[in-house]
A and B are shown apart, each in its own frame.
Chain A
């Protein structure tokens, strides 16, 4: 299943010819190289205006949506869902493993986690914010033009416009922030701010304030891989900027497409059920 998303790794291992051994050695050494070295190792195809081509339908394949930090599998809160409602375990995506919370903020994170279902805004189909929208367990499509890059997400039909070399800042707080992008060689760097303090970073209660600034780096590392890094700077909540990093995988199925996940209608009973007319009212 997962191999479908990363065909470049499905190199034949049936016969260990010198070529395949060399290939595997190459992959092995690449994986420990810093990002900048990897960037040099792969030159992305170009768009008409000569920029690395990020067009495509991409998806994270990890458990960052559940918890940015490494975690064992755990039972879910909805008994009826059984095994299918449990949270899968996974390696963390935080550089250095720790999220540098200020002491009060760490306590709030833990309290959030204890009240996940009541508090997680994504449960209500709210716009998930940045960077969480990138690693929701849903694909998103990049449509790249010279002066802006559009990112259209399945979850909640969210989308972002990233203004290339944009200078304007958001005049008010928003759910998805205000994104200005720039090209740094092979990497598309996106600075996003103008957030409200309503979104979370995952389903484990990790959060931020309206002072959050996110710097994302999108770098093609292969035909079907897009390395994603996000540095989160929020002096009201964290003691220093910190970074997450993960590969995004191209959805390579024939005619892959974004399928609507217009989740508002899935949460109306949850949000408004108590306001439904009762018989005998």
Chain B
């Protein structure tokens, strides 16, 4: 039997001194972990972005966004495996995602308009299951390698090791955010979308067709899902577990706020860095694989202090 003092000492050592010591001793390694986390975070941001788009424009919390990522990647890799060239596979998959948006709006959203949010939310769980089954029915449930010829391998910046495809993903994400920002601010459709996000009723009353908006926003989210799917697939292979990983976009949204695009980005980065650092420096002490839940617990604790998220607005309730 050990004394209490020894136990406290050991506890302090395992959960504080050793990890923190590790960070201080090897700052470069720490920086590498942080950068790795940032890159993983970009991936989460990509998924979360699709959520935010749909939530902003329609108030629908699209649980199926993660599955859309998987579905898009499956279609894309499926076309490639059939021998299609990149420049054919990409627009073809894009067309499928647009068609999907059309079907979802017609078959699911339109009949459920004016239902409670929670019903719409559950219907997107249904969409997620359907898509998952459908995608695997079409393309099979195996792991598909995805290689679209992006630069692979490691790169040294000073003494820090960086994966090249991470950089590409980050670049793709930045380009996409820029394109989205342009789309929202400088196109007529984009302005209509923002109007709907601000006030449904008002938007309707000045003649913005809600159903068309829903279709467009799901199509855009489908395009975002395709880009995210390619990036994820390039990194991890296209497989079933992508949709579970994509679920981590949910805590990302809680951190960032459901309606904020910068929030989705920052939230994704926080979650990515947080779970990598936690896993590398604290994971061993806790038994490993804490990446599985770290993001969720982080979100849960965060909610207790700031329920509206980092960038969300506080809602004043009225009766």
* Co-complex (A, B): no
A residues apposed to B, CB below 8 Å: none
B residues apposed to A, CB below 8 Å: none
